[in-house]
Amino acid sequence: MEATFLFLLGFSVAAVGVIPPGLLNISAAKISVTVGYQRSVSFSIGVCLVVLVQTLVALLFSRYISEHPEVVSVLKLVAVVIFVLVGIYYGFIARPKSTELSTVDMSSKKSYLFQGMFLSAINFLPIPYQAYMALTFSSWDWFHFDAYENGLYIAGATMGTFSTLYVYIFFFDSLKHLRMLSPQNMNYIIGLVSGLIALITFYSSFTS
């Protein structure tokens, strides 16, 4: 029972963190709409591989992060710069390529795996988020930071992230016939979402 609880704890925290529209879930949706379901799943697996590492780092350094708010402030400011650059790229620079699915080599799944890993790696805000949540659960005596509990929580967080990304993939894939979900419009959506995240992160870095 304890194992199930810890797994669901990590699952819920990660899922809630990925539910709001963001760079990763909208990117997964775009890949599903423009390139195909299989490659969007490869992208999501890449994201989750990094989430696994990020969650481990968050648990190992949770106390340090909580005691050094200046570290979180730096992370937020760096994130603002990254999200602004991503927003500019997708909003004004990126243009969709007219590539038929049948002409795309199946080995390109690897490129989407690495793309998911890269975008997840530059989105390092989950580290302080998971660190603060883990400390909160520890203060409630729900979590004790030993290897066994860490493993269950990390497994749950990884699956929670993948499940939420999969919901985005499934939802947008079912709507891909709509004209508003054209490749260029998806670029605009990613650019807009990245810009909003940058503004929210910038604001929170001066109000927290």
Each residue's pLDDT tens digit in the chain (208 positions)? 588 999 999 999 999 989 888 889 889 988 988 888 889 999 999 999 999 999 999 999 888 887 787 777 787 788 788 878 877 876 666 665 554 444 444 446 778 999 999 999 988 888 989 999 999 998 888 888 889 999 999 999 999 999 999 999 988 877 766 666 666 777 777 788 878 878 877 777 666 5
Q: Please compute, for residue 128, the number of CA atoms within 13 A of its CA located in the half-sphere on the CB side.
A: 18
Dihedral angle sign, alpha carbons of residues 160, 165, 166, 170: positive
pLDDT at 103: 43
3-state secondary structure of 161: helix
Q: How many CB atoms lie within 10 A of CB 20?
A: 12
pLDDT at 158: 96
Q: pTM of whole model > 0.75?
A: yes
The answer to whether 74 touches 143, Cβ cutoff 8 Å, is no
